Amino acid sequence: MQLSAGNHAVQILHNISFEVSAKQVLAIVGPSGSGKSTLLGLLAGLDQPTCGSIHIHNTNITALAESAMAHFRRQYIGYVFQAFHLIPTLTALENVALPLELQGITTGEERAKTLLQAVGLEKRVHHYPIQLSGGEQQRVALARAFISQPPLLLADEPTGNLDSATGNLVIDLLWQLHEQHDSTLILVTHDTTLAARAQRILTLQDGTIVNDASLTT
């Protein structure tokens, strides 16, 4: 995987190859600049690799056109961003329901209410992001990621902008939703405590996999 920097191509990832089993929890760790977020972006189809292929749910997503990739992502992939990425002009309820509305599903608001209740925000459904704390915004983002019940959930530093107590709450909710929806969970984190809760840890350094360890649970 290469990115352009001025007139130079910078190679971010080198010969990355791995498989993830359905329903597995995989933590991707490594120092800053090791390629963790780039790898997650590739798995989400947000970036395109310069070589190789990525297969999700028996589909080679690297062969999909942009519109087909967007459709595939809505059906099969949920993404939790470190910076929340809520739409500021929409309420918590509207933010969570949005993925279903984009699919033309009319039951989005009812399902959104159920998920917001599951993450403890039933009294905040009509609040806008600016009226919510960081932890509350991340819980809204979790609910939004799960509303389509995607087989694959990707989380990029889901506790990176939160204090430790709020981060622990968010992680407990993430694991709870993962277990309820039988999703595969892949997360990028610097938090060793969080990584230790995964079933498997993939360690990146300088764009390569330097360790792939399964953990006992």
- Report H helices in the chain: 36-43, 66-76, 92-102, 108-118, 134-146, 164-181, 192-195
Residue 36: inside a domain, yes or no?
yes
Query: What total number of domains does the chain contain?
Result: 1
Residue 138: inside a domain, yes or no?
yes
pLDDT tens readout for residues 132-189: 999 999 999 999 999 988 999 999 998 888 888 888 888 888 898 888 889 999 999 9
Give me the pLDDT at residue 203, please: 96
Residue 126: inside a domain, yes or no?
yes
Residue 40: inside a domain, yes or no?
yes
Residue 83: inside a domain, yes or no?
yes
Q: Tell me the pTM.
A: 0.87
Residue 6: inside a domain, yes or no?
no
pLDDT tens readout for residues 24-82: 999 999 998 899 999 999 999 998 888 889 999 899 999 999 999 998 998 899 999 88
Q: What is the distance between the alpha carbons of residues 169 and 138, in angstroms, rounded to a whole number?
A: 10
Give me the pLDDT at residue 216, please: 65
Q: Give the range of the structural domain holding residue 49, as residue numbers without chain letter.
A: 16-214
| Dihedral sign of CA atoms 181, 198, 21, 14 in order | positive
- Residue 117's Cα: distance from chain center in Å? 21
Q: Which residue, 211, 61, 79, 72, is CA-closest to 144?
A: 79
Confidence of residue 10 (pLDDT cuts 50, 70, 90): low
CATH code at position 86: 3.40.50.300
Helix then strand count (H, E) for the chain reads 7, 10
Residue 4: inside a domain, yes or no?
no
Residue 3: inside a domain, yes or no?
no
